[in-house]
Structure 1
């Protein structure tokens, strides 16, 4: 692994590593607004229901993935800092709560006040197709203006300050999807799936009522994401004792 040079240090100081966890807007399909119920059933026709789940069960399994029927429960935000010898440390902060609007406003405040200013970059795994788009959609639904780093309308591709580790791994192979956990495995990065996996989040929130477990999982994903980005840039992993998670 190469040493981190000054140019890459400067780059990393401008990057926030993020991960979001989303859930269905209500814990029971019958609690959904009647108009939205009809629209969900119309959408569900085109989704893969291999297990032949009931309308209610299928809603709980899939709705959180779609910004029209889900909400942002928590956002993990990670930033890298350096000492005088350019040794990196990572700090991860969790933004979570049952009130989606408050979560989104808190995230917006962080990105707008970041010292990188207009040079701020956001990094996520599959962020271009999920995290970034989901955040934008839910902010608009909640009447929140998009922060500059999420404003992409009218911008050229190279003007958009978004990094996506999935996109980086594709190397132009657009049909190739690789999950974060698989990439963590092949790069020998500890997994974030110790307590739960992504497909259990809705159940843990609505049935187990354990948001703290989800936030720990989200924070662990931010750590894995950051370590993966380091590996993808041929750098050593950030040492565990230099990683701080603020839940």
Structure 2
């Protein structure tokens, strides 16, 4: 099925996350309790397991994971000679990684509706501006905003 949007207007994203701590035992005591609470909900009506046994899943939950890599791509050129341009941002410092990603996206344009993208746990909030429906070009503006 063909996309209703021209391919050159789509920003393709791949975001990789990891757990903030490599093992459950490394979590500070208050975070261990938070994970236990989360695990109770995850394990409800499932096979028996402990919070420690399922900690490997924590990377996909915003409050327990962190972004370590964002790759984005755009297609350009005519269909017969279309090129894919890819840029990746990676590193252990999530705030720096997200700020560098925001800087790139700010170059793509400015839209209208703000959508918060990350939880506010790390002292940074990202806002995304999107164009009105049906706009012929993709436009996204990300802006790190200090929490305060």
State TM-score, norm by structure 2. 0.71
Structure 2 counterpart of 1:143, from 119, 123, 143 = 123
Which residue is equivalent to 2:53? 57
**Which structure carries more helix by proportion?**
1
- Stretch deviating more after TM superposition (42-51 or 22-31): 42-51
Structure 1 segment 236-247 matched on structure 2, within 5 A: none
Please, which runs of 5 or more residues in structure 2 have no aligned partner?
Answer: 140-148
> What is the CA-CA distance between 1:119 and the residue it aligns to?
5.5
Which residue is equivalent to 2:104? 110
1:12 and 2:4 equivalent?
no
Which residue is equivalent to 2:33? 38
> What is the CA-CA distance between 1:86 and the residue it aligns to?
6.1
SS in 2 for 1:148: strand
Structure 2 counterpart of 1:92, from 86, 91, 94 = 86
* Aligned-residue RMSD, C-alpha: 3.3
> What is the CA-CA distance between 1:21 and the residue it aligns to?
1.2
State TM-score, norm by structure 1. 0.45
Q: In the alignment, is the contact (CA less than 8 A) between 2:40 and 2:51 conserved in 1?
A: no
Q: In the alignment, is the contact (CA less than 8 A) between 2:43 and 2:49 conserved in 1?
A: no
Instruction: Tell me the distance in 1 between the aligned counterparts of 2:49 and 2:68.
Output: 24
SS in 1 for 2:129: helix
- Structure 1 pair 42–101 and aligned structure 2 pair: CA distance change class (3 A): same
Q: Which fold has the larger relative contact order, with Cα–Cα distance below 8 Å and residues 6 or more apart in sequence?
A: 1
**Where do 4+ consecutive residues of structure 1 move more than 6 Å?**
none
Q: In the alignment, is the contact (CA less than 8 A) between 1:112 and 1:148 conserved in 2?
A: no
Q: In the alignment, is the contact (CA less than 8 A) between 2:72 and 2:88 conserved in 1?
A: yes
**Which structure carries more strand by proportion?**
2
1:29 and 2:24 equivalent?
yes
CA deviations over 1:5-56 (Å, ceiling 9, x no partner): xxx6xx4333211011111110011111211111110111111375534432
Instruction: Tell me the distance in 2 between the aligned counterparts of 1:148 and 1:86.
Output: 32
